[in-house]
Chains A and B, each alone.
Chain A
Amino acid sequence: MAAVTAPAAARTSVFNGVNPTFVRYELRRRFNRQTTIFTVLLPAVLYLALFRTAPSGGADLPHGNFAAWMMIGQAVYGAATAAVSSAATISVEKSVGWMRTIAMSPLTPPGYLLVKVLCSVLMAGVPVAIVGALGALTGAHADANVWVTSLLVAWVGAAVFAALGIGMGLALKPDVVMHMPGLTMTALAFLGNLFIPLSGVMLEISRYTPMYGVATLARYPLNDGFSFHGEHSSVAGAVFNLLAWFAGFSFLAIRRFRKSTGRP
């Protein structure tokens, strides 16, 4: 019997239990009105509202235009918001004791986290694709490699916020977590230089916020790291920012997760 031998082999994996059916149900739970507004509608609307607001005299970048700059920013924002949307589902799961049901199944704790991260990354692809399509339709232009690399970084960088979503979901109560992720992400996006080109003191502050790393890396092929006012951001600084926040959020998520199987 194949059905018996296959799982016996899979049982040795730390991600035991992860399967497409489970991921599909998990994804279906993630797509509700709240997440659709923040992950699909808001980045699209913000892009359309802001793609023509180029700073005077600085509309052109080394490898593209301001609309492409805004498109990448909104893609990063949308992907991050989609990734963090796991917070709402996890918070509900924790409060109703779903963690205990999962603990009584063959799905391992790393497997549970993998499903959450996988769904976050899959969902993050949706706003990236939509904002990318809007950019192409509204005159964003950039070199071909910019389109591919920048949107890919925006998408994959969502992993940082997948970890944040898990940590938030485990730490906060469901009624709080309804609005928190969307609002937090919007604030972080502003601080992270995603909506309005920042300079001077604001840019210096921005370098310490969680979205700066992903945004700077995603835009690097477009602007070679230069802001509209000529300030330079290094790849090393952006990578350091990204890794530091990813490590921090992962640490928070794992620490919270270890405590979460007891009775609520």
Chain B
Amino acid sequence: MMIDYQNRTASRGTASPLAAELSSVVKRFTNAKGEVFTAVNGLDLRIRRGEVVAFLGPNGAGKTTSIDMLLGLTRPDEGEVRLFGVSPEQAVRAGRVAAVLQSGGLLPDLTVEATVHMLASLHPGADPERCMARANITELRARRVAACSGGEQQRLRFALALLSRPDFLVLDEPTAGMDVVARRDFWAAVREDAARGMTVMFATHYMEEADQFADRVVMINKGAVVADGSASSIRAATSGRTVSAVLSPYEAGLVSRTPGVRSSAVRGERTYFTCTDSDALLRVLVGETQARDIEVAPRSLEEAFMAITENAGRVENAANAQKENV
């Protein structure tokens, strides 16, 4: 069942033609008060055929808007989107691209079976029964969509995405609402398709999913790419812990010069240290300072983003950012 993705990537080579190409894409929204908000700000992204790409970013980073533009559901204000060398609309109509969108998109009054068969009729040569089996929803066929759990609806969306036998599958937070077992089964099914050479791009805010599944991780924040590299290089940038304590500014200044401390920040009365070796830092705090209320926490994805954006600004490879700090 386990497949070595790194080898597979290497064997595909880098010369394969592009599955998707977003060039300097900008999308602005205007809210009810007339204020303009830039959701996607000059995003550049090229996805080669056969790649499995995780699209990582905190909430509001512009992931869903980017995906909407990729699929032709929203038109960019500036820049261009091409899929397999044609417009997103053409690629979608030809059945080359399919998507599992985050929410909605299903009719609550239809049964699972009716939904699959109704949409299958639009795709020439689709095999609805096989797609239902692949997404593991065959036993749910008589259930109304409204009675399905979030995870079951997600599996239904997956079955619908498989109808056109796409070359490129786009998944927007596909495992939201799934339990552990469903999540594992879901990724096993996607892996099978990826192993046959299907290009996959998935948005997530779970670092583990990106880590376990993707060849390549693209991090975006505030509508632009902030890091783009292999899963392991991104993991290195997001590893480490945050240690926080209440202590005087003088002592905080001394502690922040301890080896292994990458950065420090004061929020309220607490000082937060980002470090590679939390044990060494704890010894310093306990043994050499008057620090109180010490806490150690794993670094969250949001903090990793902040570290990447603050330390290196715009980096092509997160591993470089890591090396500079060590």
Contact = CB atoms under 8 A, between A and B. Distances in A.
A100 B109 CA distance: 17
A7 B122 contact: no
A96 B124 contact: no
B220 interface: no
Interface in B99-153: 99, 101, 103-110, 114, 117-119, 121-125
A103 B104 CA distance: 13
A97 B68 CA distance: 13
Interface residues of A, number: 32
Interface stretch (A18-26, A146-154, A243-251): A18-26
A29 B109 contact: yes
A106 B93 contact: yes
A101 B122 contact: no
Contacts of A104: 71, 73, 92, 98-99
B260 interface: no
Contacts of A11: 93-94
Interface residues of B, number: 32
A52 to B, nearest CB: 40
Contacts of A93: 107
Contacts of A103: 72-73, 92
B160 interface: yes
A160 B73 CA distance: 30
Contacts, number: 86
Contacts of A10: 124
A200 interface: no
B74 interface: yes
A17 interface: yes
Contact of A19 (B93, B103, B121): B121
Nearest to A16: B93
A184 to B, nearest CB: 23
Which secondary structure dominates chain B's binding surface?
Answer: loop
B42 interface: no
B107 A92 contact: yes
A107 B163 CA distance: 14
B95 interface: yes
Contacts of B114: 25, 28
Chain B CB within 10 Å — which of A101, A104, A261 has the most? A104
A261 B73 contact: yes
A97 B117 contact: no
A85 B118 CA distance: 20
Interface of A: 3-4, 6-7, 10-11, 16-17, 19, 21-22, 25-26, 28-29, 92-93, 96-98, 100-101, 103-108, 261-264
24 contacts: A10-B124, A16-B93, A19-B121, A21-B118, A21-B121, A25-B110, A25-B118, A26-B118, A29-B109, A92-B108, A93-B107, A97-B104, A97-B105, A101-B105, A101-B119, A104-B92, A105-B92, A105-B122, A105-B123, A106-B93, A106-B94, A106-B123, A106-B164, A263-B74
